[in-house]
Amino acid sequence: MRKAPTILHLDMDAFYASAEQASKPSLRGKAVVVGGLGPRGVVATASYEARVFGVHSAMPMGQARRLAPNAAYLVPRFGFYKAISEQVMGLLRELSPLVEPLSLDEAFVDLEAGGAAWDDASARLVGARLRGDIRAVTGLTGSVGLAASKMLAKIASEQAKPDGLVVIEPGTERALLGPLSVRTLPGVGPATGDHLRRAGIHTVDEIVEAGEDELVRLLGKAHGHGLYAMALARDERAVVAEREAKSVSVEDTYDVDIHDRVRVGLEVQRLADRCVRRLRGAGLSGRTIVLKVRRYDFSTLTRSETLRGPTDDPAVVREAALRLLEGVDSTGGVRLLGVGVTGLADFTQEDLFAQAAEAAEAAGAAGEGVDHAVEQAADDVPAEERDVLVERRWVAGHDVRHAQYGHGWVQGSGLGRVTVRFETPDSEPGRVRTFLVDDPALESADPLPLVEVTGARPHHP
For 187, residues 6+ apart whose C-beta sits below 8 A from its C-beta are: 223, 226, 227, 230
3-state secondary structure of 109: strand
For 309, residues 6+ apart whose C-beta sits below 8 A from its C-beta are: 287, 348, 349, 350, 355
Closest of 109, 102, 114, 105 to residue 86, by C-alpha: 105
Closest of 253, 304, 307, 249 to residue 278, by C-alpha: 249
CB 239 within 8 A of CB 98: yes
Amino acid letter, residue 22: A
Q: At what angle do helices 78-95 and 120-138 cross, to 10 degrees?
A: 150
Which is catalytic among the residues 20, 100, 106, 112? 106
d(CA 18, CA 15): 5
Q: How many angstroms separate the first and last alpha carbons of the chain? A: 29
d(CA 228, CA 151): 13
Quote the distance between the C-alpha of residue 103 and its chain's center: 6
Closest of 425, 424, 423 to residue 433, by C-alpha: 423
Q: Is 384 labeled as catalytic in the residue annotation?
A: no
Supply the residues annotated as catalytic. Answer: 106
